Amino acid sequence: MDGGEDLRAAFDAAGVAAELALAHFRSGVSATPKADGTPVTEADLAVEHLLRDTLSRARPGDAFLGEEFGRLGDSDRIWILDPIDGTGFFGRGDPNWRIHLALEVRGSTEVALVTSPALRRCWWATRGGGSFESSWPRQDSETRPLKVSTTPTLAEAVLDALDDESRARLPPGAGRAPASPLPLVELVRGEIDAFLAERYHTWDHAPWILLVQEAGGRFTDPTGGRASDRGGGLYSNAALHTQLLASLHYPARP
């Protein structure tokens, strides 16, 4: 199967999942804490069930790794799912939540799709095929390629980070972006130059790593690699990445 076929399967699954998620969002749901303290709603559970069912029919034999139901199956093709990324937003009636899908094949993320049904936007990438943004549902006439910035120096850069503690670790000579619910969207649009996110899980990062890479940017996890399951890491444009790694004392690998 090529990336285009898998991307179509991802869009089909995201389409039905988005409708279900929107129905819950419009009617309102209550969030309850999980064992790790993070919130979950009935929508998270229902949407992940639907994503798994839809993709299983389209790609029998593929494995799954999801936030709510863990790992299922043994295959070198694994769909990584976050049914509602931004459950806190979702439970408060704030539209800045997303559905994440990524397909990993033999350890390499090959397809990424992030949809924001309540904002009517989506972002996607395939390995070697570029990154794109469109209205949601996707319309070819409204699709545009995504490119990170080319800012070459920290003195000119605008940076963001996940929280105040992380912002304090950023180089002092660079500018700071205003707080945003969608910082990685701003990065792939070229509106900011870097984002530090040293938290969360593989389903939070897997699609964004490919989206940033295919938009011409780079990602490094805290071990110096490019894995999505090392608690996040540094996303930035290519020109600034090495400088930022040095500032953060990250190991740099070729």
Q: Is residue 93 part of a domain?
A: yes
Q: Is 160 annotated as a binding residue?
A: no
Q: Is 67 annotated as a binding residue?
A: yes
β-pairing, 121-126 with 98-105? unpaired
Q: Is residue 77 part of a domain?
A: yes
List Cα–Cα distances, 141 to 10, 123, 207, in angstroms: 20, 15, 23
| pLDDT tens by residue, the chain, 254 residues | 567 999 999 999 999 999 999 999 999 999 899 988 899 999 999 999 999 999 999 999 999 999 999 999 999 999 999 999 999 999 999 999 999 999 999 999 999 999 999 999 999 999 999 999 999 999 888 999 999 999 999 999 999 999 999 999 999 999 999 999 999 999 999 999 999 999 999 999 999 999 999 999 999 999 999 999 999 999 999 999 999 999 999 987 76
Q: State the SS3 of 126-157.
A: ECCCEEEEEECCCCHHHCEECCCCCCCCHHHC
CATH number at residue 230: 3.40.190.80
Claim to verify: residue 32 and residue 98 sit in the same structural domain: yes
List Cα–Cα distances, 250 to 16, 150, 190, 212, in angstroms: 40, 22, 23, 19
CATH number at residue 127: 3.30.540.10
- Distance between CA 29 and CA 112 in Å, rounded? 27
Token code pair at residue 64: 């799954």
Range of the domain at 234: 154-248
Q: Is 6 annotated as a binding residue?
A: no
- Distance between CA 136 and CA 113 in Å, rounded? 12
Per-residue model confidence (pLDDT) at position 130: 98
Claim to verify: residue 133 and residue 35 sit in the same structural domain: yes
Claim to verify: residue 139 and residue 158 sit in the same structural domain: no
- Distance between CA 197 and CA 232 in Å, rounded? 6
Q: Pick from 123, 145, 167: which residue ends a domain?
A: 145
Claim to verify: residue 124 and residue 237 sit in the same structural domain: no
Claim to verify: residue 37 and residue 101 sit in the same structural domain: yes
> How many domains, in total, are found in the chain?
2
Q: Pick from 82, 112, 145: which residue ends a domain?
A: 145
Claim to verify: residue 14 and residue 132 sit in the same structural domain: yes
Per-residue model confidence (pLDDT) at position 56: 98
Token code pair at residue 116: 């924001």
Per-residue model confidence (pLDDT) at position 253: 72
Claim to verify: residue 49 and residue 83 sit in the same structural domain: yes
Please tell me the pTM assigned to this model: 0.96
Q: Is 221 annotated as a binding residue?
A: no
Q: Pick from 113, 145, 177: which residue ends a domain?
A: 145
Claim to verify: residue 54 and residue 82 sit in the same structural domain: yes
Task: For helices 42-58 and 3-27, give the axis angle rounded to 10 degrees.
Answer: 150
Claim to verify: residue 158 and residue 131 sit in the same structural domain: no
Claim to verify: residue 21 and residue 121 sit in the same structural domain: yes
Q: Is 5 annotated as a binding residue?
A: no
